[in-house]
Amino acid sequence: MPLTEVCTGGKTRIATSPTMMDEGVITFSGLVNTINRNECKETKMMRYKQTDGGRLAAGYKGRGGDCVNRAIAIATGLSYRTVRKALTELTIEMTGGLDRSAANGVSVPVSHAYLASLGWELILTKKSYLCDLPTKGTLIACLPRHKVSVIDGTLNDRWDSRKCKRTKCGSPTLEGYYQKEPAKSRKKR
């Protein structure tokens, strides 16, 4: 019988026979072979929708390091031009003019300040992956060196960033995500 990878109780195990799968004790050549994997909840593939977030319609051409602009425009429904202008102004203000544009990347403090001003809260995640995001609601996922909008379980981006070769599960590491704060919790602050 071919080896079968089985997902049970948050661990991946290698099965060599149907009996071993039924008993929940899975061995390989008589040795228990258990591999810890956080990503083994229920492997579900997130949907993907290709979009530039309104970049081309705003008159910008070519490729740029504009994932923050794009993710915020898609998640908030604001125009790409509005978001880019606001992020550029905030970048100039927060860096004292050392950085002059949000065209080729936005620093984390600048994007955080802008999203907080719009009423979005940051949820930090530990040992999580993109596939672990909630499937309902509008979120901005913070991946290493990339931000992306996720709406009701669908990743919205210019390129498909659902996969990663650097993790065992094949899904990118999730550093955290932004979600819109409920109106009640904003008023209490």
Of 100 and 63, the one with more pLDDT: 100
Average pLDDT over residues 146-165: 94
Q: Is residue 124 part of a domain?
A: yes
Strand partners, 4: 15
HEC secondary structure over 83-139: HHHHHHHHHHHHHCCCCCCCCCCCCHHHHHHHHHHCCEEEEEEEEEEHHHCCCCCEE
Q: Is residue 172 part of a domain?
A: yes
> Is 26:20 a contact under the CB 8 Å cutoff?
yes
pLDDT value at residue 44: 65
Q: Is residue 59 part of a domain?
A: yes
Burial of 32 (0-12, 13-18, 19+ CB in 10 A): exposed
- Dmax over CA atoms of the chain, in Å, equals 67
Whether residue 84 is found in the same domain as residue 170? yes
Spatial neighbors of 35 by CB under 8 A, at least 6 apart, are 11, 12, 13, 168
Instruction: Give the whole-number percent of the chain exceeding pLDDT 90.
Output: 62
CB atoms within 10 A of CB 62: 7
Whether residue 117 is found in the same domain as residue 167? yes
How many separate domains does the chain show?
Answer: 2
Whether residue 29 is found in the same domain as residue 63? no
DSSP-derived 3-state class of residue 62:
coil
The whole model's pTM is what?
0.74
Whether residue 31 is found in the same domain as residue 54? no
Q: Is residue 91 part of a domain?
A: yes
Question: What is the Cα–Cα distance from 172 to 189, expressed in whole angstroms?
Answer: 33
Whether residue 32 is found in the same domain as residue 57? no
Q: Is residue 123 part of a domain?
A: yes
Q: Is residue 187 part of a domain?
A: no
Domain housing 126: 47-182
Tell me the torsion sign for CA atoms 135, 139, 140, 141: negative
Whether residue 65 is found in the same domain as residue 151? yes
Q: Is residue 41 part of a domain?
A: no
pLDDT value at residue 69: 96
Q: Is residue 42 part of a domain?
A: no
Whether residue 23 is found in the same domain as residue 90? no
Whether residue 24 is found in the same domain as residue 55? no
Burial of 178 (0-12, 13-18, 19+ CB in 10 A): buried
Whether residue 60 is found in the same domain as residue 128? yes
Question: What is the Cα–Cα distance from 90 to 31, expressed in whole angstroms?
Answer: 58
Whether residue 32 is found in the same domain as residue 53? no
Spatial neighbors of 5 by CB under 8 A, at least 6 apart, are 12, 13, 14, 15
> Is 70:80 a contact under the CB 8 Å cutoff?
yes
Lowest mean pLDDT segment, chosen from 32-41, 43-52, 119-128, 160-169? 32-41
Average pLDDT over residues 62-91: 95
Whether residue 158 is found in the same domain as residue 74? yes
Whether residue 54 is found in the same domain as residue 27? no
Lowest mean pLDDT segment, chosen from 40-49, 69-78, 81-90, 116-125? 40-49
Q: What is the pLDDT of residues 81-133, one digit of tens each?
A: 999 999 999 999 999 999 999 988 999 999 999 999 999 999 999 999 999 99
